[in-house]
Amino acid sequence: MKALTKSEKAPGASMQTKVMPEPRANEVLVQVKITAICGTDIHIFNWNDWAAGLGIEQGNVMGHECVAEVVKLGEGVTSLSVGDRVCIETHIPCRDCRLCHNGNMHICENETIFSVHTNGCFADYAVVPAICARKVPESIPDEIASIMEPVGVGVHAAQIGDVKGKNVVVLGAGPIGLFSACASLALGAKQVTISDIKDTRLEVASLCGDFQLWNPLKTSAYSLFDTSASASGPEVIIETTGSNRAVSDILPYLRKKGTMVMVGLFPGDVSLNFSQDIIFKEVTIKGVHGRIMWDTWELMEKLIQNDKLNVQPAITHRFKLEEYEEAFRIAASGEGTKVLLRP
Ligand SMILES: [Zn+2]
Ligand SMILES: [Zn+2]
């Protein structure tokens, strides 16, 4: 089979021919139908310091977002059948630790990540732990199914941000920010503002929902949320940029008792005015890592099936897997939002 491989611990990747893998006990072999490029894949492709520290082995197959069909069951698999259409939950739980036992499998103490600690799905076939192969409801089309893993991060962010009836600001209109904004609307937020310093990304956002669009390079947070009338500021902020500047600029406008949901990863330490912006205002800060298994998936499936989550316009480009170089260029430049690859 062909597979896009991290052939060297250096920038780039290569298409290789590999022996078809065999599922072991509690694993399934899937035939990949459509995959999507994630921010993580771009870091791994470019091999920045963060990616180099993940512990990825040389020769690893890249990619984790996909829709696929189960073609072979490993020993002991009873939850799936050959022919099932699935997407992959990338957080692999041990099923045996305190967090796995109390409903927090997605942040398992012994968590491993599909495509980082295992081979991924930028290939014709992939082996997946059966517990991480999530059956896709029939009414959800393949392209949408291929991006449900990142959509789920946005749904999780809106879920724990408790956005219903509130003014929400989402920082960043990359895929995760956009999906967080879509999910906030779907879960009944009163108003959703989405920011990005790239107008092209805001244009894509405008196709997904009735958002207030905000380019902070053109309009300051001050003129948008006017400090003297802090009641006009957001009640919930969902942060997906990983930019210290973006956070410290908006935090003064978050209302008292507001919530800040942190999703984007930061390259280093973050400096904030804790006394003024968090303690005196009794602000709550929550982290989001992945999707709640399977709470978030169930909610997301319901929202998609009820036409509440309009994420289709986020899919801006489609390529064959062989065209990966151009696909990565477009995804990394921000020219594309979700870029799909077909093996
Ligand atoms: Zn992803
Ligand atoms: Zn565990």
317 is catalytic: no
CB 36 within 8 A of CB 146: yes
Which amino acid, one-letter code, is at 45? F
Bridge partner list, 320 = 342
43 is catalytic: yes
> Tokens standing for 146?
């291929």
Q: What 3-state DSSP class applies to 181?
A: helix
> Tokens standing for 144?
């949408």
In the structure, ligand 2 is a single-atom ion and the residues with CB under 5 Å from it are 93-94, 97, 100, 108
Pairing of strands 167-171, 85-88: unpaired
Kindly tell me if the per-residue pLDDT of 101 is higher than 80: yes
Q: What is the pLDDT of residue 228?
A: 57
Distance CA 90, CA 92 (A): 6
How many Cα atoms within 13 Å fall on the side-chain side of residue 63? 36
Q: What 3-state DSSP class applies to 314?
A: helix
99 CA distance to ligand 2 middle (Å): 6
Architecture of domain 153-287: 3-Layer(aba) Sandwich (3.40)
**Taking residues 254-265, what's their average pLDDT?**
96
Length of the chain: 343
> Tokens standing for 212?
């207030």
328 CA distance to ligand 2 middle (Å): 33
100 alpha carbon, closest ligand: 2
- The CATH class given to the 2-147+311-342 domain equals alpha beta
90 CA distance to ligand 2 middle (Å): 14
The alpha carbon dihedral of 143, 141, 15, 93 has a sign of positive
Distance CA 140, CA 127 (A): 23
Kindly tell me if the per-residue pLDDT of 50 is higher than 80: yes
Question: What are the domain boundaries of the chain?
Answer: 2-147+311-342, 153-287
154 alpha carbon, closest ligand: 1
90 alpha carbon, closest ligand: 1
**H or E segment and range at residue 332:** helix 324-333
Identify the active-site residue in 5, 35, 40, 316. 40
Which amino acid, one-letter code, is at 199? D
96 alpha carbon, closest ligand: 2
Kindly tell me if the per-residue pLDDT of 226 is higher than 90: no
2-147+311-342 and 153-287 agree in CATH topology:
no
Measured CA to CA in angstroms, residue 35 lies from 262, 317, 341 at distances of 26, 12, 5
Q: What is the pLDDT of residue 175?
A: 97
Q: Return phi, psi of residue 36, to 5°.
A: -135, 150
Q: What percent of the chain has pLDDT over 90?
A: 94
CB 172 within 8 A of CB 247: no
Distance CA 19, CA 174 (A): 35
**Taking residues 231-236, what's their average pLDDT?**
86
Q: With bands split at pLDDT 50, 70 and 90, how would you rate the model's confidence at 231? A: low
Which amino acid, one-letter code, is at 254? L
Q: With bands split at pLDDT 50, 70 and 90, how would you rate the model's confidence at 203? A: very high
129 CA distance to ligand 2 middle (Å): 14
> Tokens standing for 174?
């990359």
Question: Which residue reads 């749904």 in tokens?
Answer: 155
196 CA distance to ligand 1 middle (Å): 20
83 CA distance to ligand 1 middle (Å): 24
Distance CA 56, CA 118 (A): 8
